[in-house]
Structure 1
Amino acid sequence: MKKPRRMNLLVLTENAEHFDLCKAAFTQAGHHLSAVKPEKTITAPINDADAVVTAYENVRTAMRAFHDQDAYISIQSGRLKTNTLTRIYAVAIGYREPGLPVNAMSVHITPEQDGEKEITSALKRLLLMPHDVPTIDELANQPSYF
């Protein structure tokens, strides 16, 4: 049986329950969990420019602090669709080194959802991503990627 490759995963979420779900799904998928770090991030209405900038700065700081991660997952919750913030997360994830391939996933969970199915599904997709994933520059031309 092939030994699962060791991965470091950075989780960006404000919700401790979502963090725990993420941790459980990651280890259950048969992968070794080298490092999982919850990070406080700010979500805000997409028309609030100051909040969007703050969210970008927070995520960029997290990327600097955990630049050696293999994969990233951003989990946002609430009724509002945060497409602008999702793009901010995507750009910030690629910040660690422009042009570097990125394994990243962004999940939006509405109040009607418990989050478990969405998080588990996102992690499965994240772990199945090929090694030759698009660079952040290529992602800019593929807005439907996230």
Structure 2
Amino acid sequence: MIVAFFDAFRSKPYPTLYGASQTAVTEDKLVVGLVVAIGVLGFTLLVVSPAIRGRKALVYFLKVGASLFVGCTIIVGNYGYGWQTGTIKTRTAYKAFTDHEVAAQVGLHVGLRGINITLKGEPEHQLKEQINYNEQFSWGWQQFRIGFGPYV
């Protein structure tokens, strides 16, 4: 029997099955990386500050520490999904054109770079299905066209 390259993880005649994507809802890898980088700079400030003598050490520590705090706050505000959040418990139609309703919690997280919508059933297993969904909709400020031309 010859196995084709694209038949991996596939049960014939069904499409390829992949495992569930276990991603965080409100945390973003980019934001965590930037906060860790600023934390490293803050730790470096603590290590270097004893080398500065006198009153200058305190002034230097306060200036640079305040700058790092303000920079971290701006970055988290810009890249995070925590500008406006809200949740509500409701009974809602589960699928279009059916009378089946589910008890669920609907959550919304809004940020500058996108929106995150969550639907979680209470209890999670209803109508013989697991109801636990999360969708992230990002809006970019680029046109995604490289080079020069009439559409750039």
Query: TM-score higher than 0.5 here?
Result: no
> Greater relative contact order: 1 or 2 (C-alpha under 8 angstroms, separation 6 or more)?
1
Bigger radius of gyration among the two? 2
TM-score (norm 2): 0.23
TM-score (norm 1): 0.24
Larger strand proportion, structure 1 or 2?
2
